[in-house]
Structure 1
Amino acid sequence: MNDASLIRLLVLSAIWGASFLFMRVGAPAIGPAALIFLRVALAALFLWCVALALRRTRAAGVHWRHYLVLGLFNSALPFLLFAHAAQTVSASLLSILNATAPLWGAVIGAVWLRQPLSPRQLIGLSCGVAGVVVLGGSEAAQLPAGGGLAIAAALLAAFSYGIATTYTKAASAVDPFANAHGSMWAATLLLLPTLFFLPLPATTPTTGVVAAVIALGVLCSGVAYLLYFRLIADIGATPALTVTFLIPVFGVLWGYLFLDEPVGWHTLFGATLVLSGTGLATGFAPASLLASWRLRHVQS
């Protein structure tokens, strides 16, 4: 990994960590469905402009079923569930629960592909579950009514990401940019009907809410996808998984700095269990990636 890729990795982690901050700001003000529709619609328009500039195509006529599946499980459903949870749950906790996605992916992959989990993966899964119990139990005790359901919604969102990851591995190869572009339009179409059942906001959204919506769509979806696919092209899909471990770091930091969210022992301990479990279940160690980066600098 060169310096440019490391910077992209850190920037991407910071952006995706901030997405939970923006949802925490926007969801209570305009509702989760409106927020997420605007998020995916803005992302689709942004990626459409990029596609025009780069002369890229989605091949929608060929891959439309694929985009619908990906748009549902990788965008529309998890975004909506996280936004629902963001009305109650802290941005810090949401970012940590998001890190369970690879755990769910390992379990779904084992069932889907009929490959039994290894002892290492079982230990990782147990650590992840223990981390969720520590986080969820401590947080739910301090949340208002419905807090437990909000945490369950966040876990279901991470589970949806696991489905999308497993599906993508088994599906026919499609260009990563086309995947992002096509799935955003599919998610927009899937979420469009929800707008007909939504009440209008009681008050005009503030400038901060509008900024959060735009940041979610353009920065946390459009720009983030471009960074992510550049990372995959430069360092490969497996090293790019490091972003999973870094998102909670930034998610907790942004929540602490901008929303005054407390960081207690249960947050740190639970996050450690979740991230350790993710590393064991996926067989990926971020330390090895950083070691290779240091080795490159020593050799140069």
Structure 2
Amino acid sequence: MSAGTGLREYGVFALLALVWGSSYAAIDVGLRELPPLLFAGLRYDAATLFLFGVVLIAGERVLPRERHEWTTVLIGGTFLIAINIGGLFVGQQYVPSSVAAILQSVSPVLTPVFAWVLLDARLGVRTVVGSVLGLLGVAIIGGWEPHWGLPSLGVGVAGDAVATLPNDDGTMVGVAVLFGAAAAFALGSVLLERLPPTLPTTTSQAWMMAVGAIQLHLGSVVLGEPTGELELLRFETVGAVLYLGVVCGAVGYLLYYELLNSMGPVRASVVNYVTPVVAAVIGFLFLGEQLGLAAVVGFVLVAAGFAGMQWDSLVAFQARIDDAYRRREYLGGDRGGESLREAYFGAPDPDEDAEAWEWGPQ
């Protein structure tokens, strides 16, 4: 791997992990003053405006034309934005930001299960074991204490140094809502795999965010969330809305697609498992949160489940990338500015299992 290209790729990776990891602390700040669905809707108002500006500046097609393009926008806006992000904001009222980040990272573990049900995908032994590990991790985070002769994790003991969460009704609601939000993202990703991606990706994401924002605002109205004092919001709250919408949403999306192009979908998806670590550090430094042993064990189980499910893809893709770098160095140069993936592997293979990783920034 050449030094310049490697530093750039991993620099983008680190920046994206920082941006997405910090989003959970920003959510915590905004929830102190804003109701969750209204807050999420305002976030995606800002993100939508920013992304449509990018679409216009880039000269890309603005409107969906075909029926499947409108279906893509509706499914993505409903499952990946409205239900997933709405659930994240609602659930994070009851749990620390670091725990919310860990529970969001379970989506890739659930995706093959929905693919098996809806797409008749083969569910191998590794996939089954990986899914079970991921669900076990969620259960431990949520308060289940395994009794297998293992050291106590301190689950559910309020005030215990190793406890993750207090074992009360609010905690259970928060964990359940966050798990449902992650499941909605996984389900939406699988549903989108059935549709041809003919709409430009930036346009598609902008419309998904617009549809999701509308649904979040409607949900806020239906639930009767208070909206009467928005003009009195503190600077910190307005900053949280703009930071989440523009930086974490729109700019985060652009960084993620840069990673998809340069590193490929499998390696780029690893950022989902660095994000909770960043969220935990930021939560500790700025919010005074403590990450208990139960959360650490749960996160390790979720990450191990994902690694087991994708092990063959990770190894094979790394070998292909390493071979491509060696050939590029032998040939000399960057082949006229093409991306590494395009230069040596051709255009992205539409049959490659990339769609599950392609949709929806944090």
TM-score in terms of structure 2 length: 0.76
Written as runs of structure 1 = structure 2, the 5 A alignment for 1:20-169 is: 20-62=24-66, 63-137=69-143, 138=155, 142=166, 144-169=168-193
From 12, 31, 56, the equivalent of 2:16 is: 12
From 209, 228, 243, the equivalent of 1:184 is: 209
Count of residues paired in the alignment: 298
Distance in 1 of aligned mates of 2:121 and 2:194:
14
Alpha-carbon distance change, 11 to 286 in structure 1, aligned in 2, over 3 angstroms: farther
Q: What's the CA shift string for 1:246-293, capped at 9, x where partnerless? A: 111111111111111112222222211111112223345499859967
Written as runs of structure 1 = structure 2, the 5 A alignment for 1:114-263 is: 114-137=120-143, 138=155, 142=166, 144-174=168-198, 175-196=200-221, 197-200=224-227, 204-263=232-291
Query: Does structure 2 conserve the Cα–Cα contact (< 8 Å) formed by 1:176 and 1:229?
Result: no
Instruction: Give, as a single letter, the amino acid of the residue that structure 2 aligns with 1:157.
Output: A
Instruction: Give, as a single letter, the amino acid of the residue that structure 2 aligns with 1:77.
Output: I
Q: CA RMSD in A?
A: 2.6
2:310 maps to 1:271: no
Query: Does structure 1 conserve the Cα–Cα contact (< 8 Å) formed by 2:50 and 2:250?
Result: yes
Percent of matched pairs sharing the same residue: 24
Alpha-carbon distance change, 202 to 45 in structure 1, aligned in 2, over 3 angstroms: closer
Q: 4+ runs of 1 displaced by more than 4 Å?
A: 284-293
Distance in 2 of aligned mates of 1:202 and 1:181:
28
Distance in 2 of aligned mates of 1:54 and 1:291:
32
State the secondary structure of the residue aligned to 2:252.
helix
Query: Does structure 1 conserve the Cα–Cα contact (< 8 Å) formed by 2:35 and 2:226?
Result: no
Q: What's the CA shift string for 1:75-124, capped at 9, x where partnerless? A: 11111101001111111001111110011101101111123421111111
State the secondary structure of the residue aligned to 2:32.
helix
Greater shift, 278-287 or 172-181, is seen at 278-287
Query: Does structure 1 conserve the Cα–Cα contact (< 8 Å) formed by 2:98 and 2:276?
Result: yes
Q: Which structure shows the bigger proportion of residues in helix conformation?
A: 1
Query: Does structure 2 conserve the Cα–Cα contact (< 8 Å) formed by 1:58 and 1:181?
Result: no
Alpha-carbon distance change, 286 to 129 in structure 1, aligned in 2, over 3 angstroms: farther
Structure 2, gaps ≥5 residues long:
144-154, 157-163, 330-362
Query: Does structure 1 conserve the Cα–Cα contact (< 8 Å) formed by 2:86 and 2:216?
Result: no
Q: How far did 1:15 drift?
A: 1.1
Instruction: Give, as a single letter, the amino acid of the residue that structure 2 aligns with 1:38.
Output: L
Q: What's the CA shift string for 1:120-161, capped at 9, x where partnerless? A: 111111211221122111367516542101110100111011
State the secondary structure of the residue aligned to 2:62.
coil
Q: How far did 1:245 drift?
A: 1.6
**Alignment correspondent of 2:335:** none
State the secondary structure of the residue aligned to 1:29.
coil
Alpha-carbon distance change, 274 to 207 in structure 1, aligned in 2, over 3 angstroms: same
Structure 1, gaps ≥5 residues long:
none
Distance in 2 of aligned mates of 1:147 and 1:122:
28
Alpha-carbon distance change, 287 to 8 in structure 1, aligned in 2, over 3 angstroms: farther
Instruction: Give, as a single letter, the amino acid of the residue that structure 2 aligns with 1:30.
Output: L
Instruction: Give, as a single letter, the amino acid of the residue that structure 2 aligns with 1:193.
Output: L
Instruction: Give, as a single letter, the amino acid of the residue that structure 2 aligns with 1:200.
Output: T
